[in-house]
Chains A and B, each alone.
Chain A
Amino acid sequence: MNIQELEKKAREIRATCIQMSCDGKEGHLSSSLSYVDVLVALYCGWLKIFPDDPLNPERDRFVLSKGHGCTSLYAILADRGFFPKELLTKYNREDSTLPSHPCIHTLPIMEMSSGSLGHGLGVASGMLYGLELRKSKARVVVLMGDGECNEGSVWESATFAAAHHMDRLLTIVDYNGIQAVGRSDEIMGHTSLEEKFRSFGWGARTIDGSDMKSIVETLGQFPFERNKPSAIIAKTKMGVSFMEDDVLWHYRKPSEDERQKALAELNAKPIYGQTK
């Protein structure tokens, strides 16, 4: 896909997330919308994936550590053909394959169950250590939230990954600037995540995470430094103007008016048929 096609796909995935939030009656919309551009760039070109054989040992592993942002992951997996798009109508229903936080028991193609923060990087480092023992060339990508970087366990894992020169490990921090009850900048004391990762022995870059060209180019330069794990601090946006920079969208679901307004602005349709 070229940049325009990727951007179009990102709008469709955002429209799908908004529809899923309405249908599934679940919030966390901002957490899903913010990293859609990154996710599309990963799944529509960068990651080695096998939709017909999801657990192929040669696949690149994608670990969604911020499990609350799973609607966009479900949407892109359906879009790429990992499961039927109609399954998205079941998002957040009781006994659903697609719960509000990913669960490998209900959807075994997920790399891990998530929902509690600060675990993805540690689990990913174990996967990569194992892959390297097996002489595999697969890469492991972890998607974390900026708020998630508050967790101390993240930095235990960051230390380990650098000490073991894990240059096939990529961490992407979805820097949407918003946590559950405040701004991540204020909570982290206006310190730089890029500098933190660098000082932990990583190659790190801060990019405009809503600029598809910048995302694709940056991914193309992975690994950023030889023998070092790589981190991208992606400054992201929701992609819907009236939702930008508002902590409220961590919780609320769009009303019917808001749904229509958002889809009109995105100029895109959900990838699955609506339930009503």
Chain B
Amino acid sequence: MRRAFSKALCSAAEKDPNVIFLTGDLGFQVFDEFVSCFPERYINVGIAEAQMVAMAAGLAKEGFRPIVYSIASFMTARPFEQIRICVSYPDFPVLIVGAGGGYAYSSSGVTHHAGDDLAIMSLLPGMTVIAPCDPTEIEMLFPQMLKLKGPAYMRIGKFGEPEVPAVEPPVLGKARLLKQGDKVAIVTTGDLANVALEAVNDLHKDGICPLFYHFHTVKPLDIVTLEQIVSKAHTLIVIEESSPVGGLASSIANWIAYGYYKPRLIRLGPPDKFLYSNPARETISKRYGYNKQGIIDSCKQAWQKV
């Protein structure tokens, strides 16, 4: 996903002279092409996230289109005050990119975990929050995000994520149909769409055909598609690598609570805990039941209750 991001960034900078990229001393060799093509529009601010975000606000005030980049945990929680006051409050078009959101840096320990990135950013009024599932989504959503008038956050993964085949192209703000089905609906965000798709393909072999939507856009919540989903499915299984407080499942639960439809809601994802002792990402998803097998098991159980 990072290669895709770097490519999308270069292409955007070529089209728009106001695109300017700031990094908090991260992305070794990832942005070499950008640096060589647009040296003046590449700023390594240093390990100074507060400065990076405040500065991006100043650049936006002068008509530039800043993109700020760091590891997701250092990009969201650390300069939260600057994002809130300097970017979100004046509604500046700054694109905040968190690399390795969720537990992509699982083995680096709690300091590098960002299970809360989507929740933290979703707290801010006017903030668009997205978690693409594959390189194609990054490349296609990135230019759409640059057209926004206000701020946005994008969680990106690491390197070499497989492409997720989809029925529709990604449109910002709109959930994306990955597989038709009914009765049970699977809803994902971020790169968990990959593993969920593997699970769904296996389930099809057993005659279990859940509806499958991918919510790359976490905020604003696509309630139009949600209504279509709950009119077809009695059970919603939300799979997210996000804290249970303030993530996609939490937003959907909130929407259901106030709405007309009352589907059964199941959340598969990490718990509201710090995860010590350097667990591998696969260990975490297995332990908390949101790996491929966990998804298959939950789906089968829900299917039997038809």
Question: A111, A119, A124, A156: which contacts B48 (Cβ < 8 A)?
Answer: A156
8 Å CB contact of B59 from A116, A118, A126: A126
* Contacting pair A157 B51 (CB below 8 A): yes
Interchain nearest-CB distance for B53 vs A (Å): 8
Report B82 CB to chain A, min CB distance, Å. 7
Query: Cβ of B54 < 8 Å from any Cβ of A?
Result: yes
Judging by beta carbons under 8 Å apart, are A116 and B46 in contact?
A: no
**B275 close to chain A: CB less than 8 A:** no
Q: How many residues of A contact B (CB 8 A)?
A: 29
From B48, B54, B61, B90, A159 is in contact (CB under 8 Å) with: B48
Q: In whole angstroms, what is the CA distance A248 to B21 when docked?
A: 45
**Complex alpha-carbon distance, A3 and B57, angstroms:** 37
Residue numbers in A under 8 Å from B90 (CB-CB): 104-105, 112-113
Q: Are B50 and A152 in contact (CB under 8 A)?
A: yes
Tell me if A's interface is mostly helix, strand, loop or mixed.
helix
| Interface membership of B160, Cβ < 8 A | no
**How distant is B87 from chain A, measured CB to nearest CB, in Å?**
10
Q: Determine the residue in chain B with the shortest Cβ distance to A124.
A: B58
Closest A residue to B61 by beta carbon equals: A127
B59 engages A119 (CB within 8 Å):
no
Distance A115 CA – B85 CA, assembled complex (angstroms): 9
Q: Are A160 and B85 in contact (CB under 8 A)?
A: no
- Give which listed residue, B54, B58, B82, contacts A128 with CB less than 8 A: B58
- Assembled-state Cα–Cα distance A105/B48 (Å): 28
| Other-chain contact of B61, A111, A119, A152, A157 (Cβ < 8 Å) | A111
In the assembled complex, the Cα of A142 lies from the Cα of B92 at a distance in Å of 20
Indicate which residue in B45, B62, B86 contacts A119 across the interface (CB closer than 8 Å).
B86
Which one of A116, A126, A152 lies within 8 Å of B62 (CB-CB)? Answer: A126
In angstroms, Cα B45 to Cα A160, docked, is 7
Q: A116-B81, A130-B64, A131-B62 are in contact. Are A123 and B54 (CB under 8 A)?
A: yes
Q: Which residues of A contact B63 (CB under 8 A)?
A: 130
**Which A residues touch B86, using CB under 8 A?**
112, 119, 122-123
- Cβ contact within 8 Å between B48 and A127: no
Contact mask A164-192 → B, CB, 8 Å, 1/0?
Answer: 00000000000000000000000000000
Q: Say yes or no for A214: interface residue by CB 8 A criterion.
A: no
| A122 and B62 contact, Cβ closer than 8 Å, known pairs A156-B48, A156-B50 | no
Complex interface: chain B residues within 8 A of A206 (CB): none
A130 CB to closest chain B CB, in angstroms?
3
Contact A129 B46 (CB under 8 A): no
- Nearest chain A CB to B102's CB is how many angstroms away? 27
> Is B276 located at the chain interface by the 8 A CB criterion?
no
Bound-state Cα–Cα, A131 to B63, Å: 10
Give the complex CA separation of A153 and B59 in angstroms: 17
A134 interface residue (CB < 8 Å to B)? yes
B1-51 at interface with A (beta carbon < 8 Å): 20, 40-41, 43, 45-46, 48, 50-51
Asked whether any CB of chain B lies closer than 8 Å to the CB of A1, the reply is no
Question: Provided the pairs A126-B61, A130-B63 are in contact, do residues A159 and B46 lie with their beta carbons within 8 angstroms?
Answer: yes
A131-B62, A159-B46 given; name 8 further pairs at CB < 8 Å: A112-B57, A115-B85, A123-B55, A123-B57, A129-B58, A130-B20, A133-B40, A159-B48
Residues of A within 8 A of B (CB): 104-105, 111-113, 115-116, 118-119, 121-131, 133-134, 152-153, 156-157, 159-160, 163
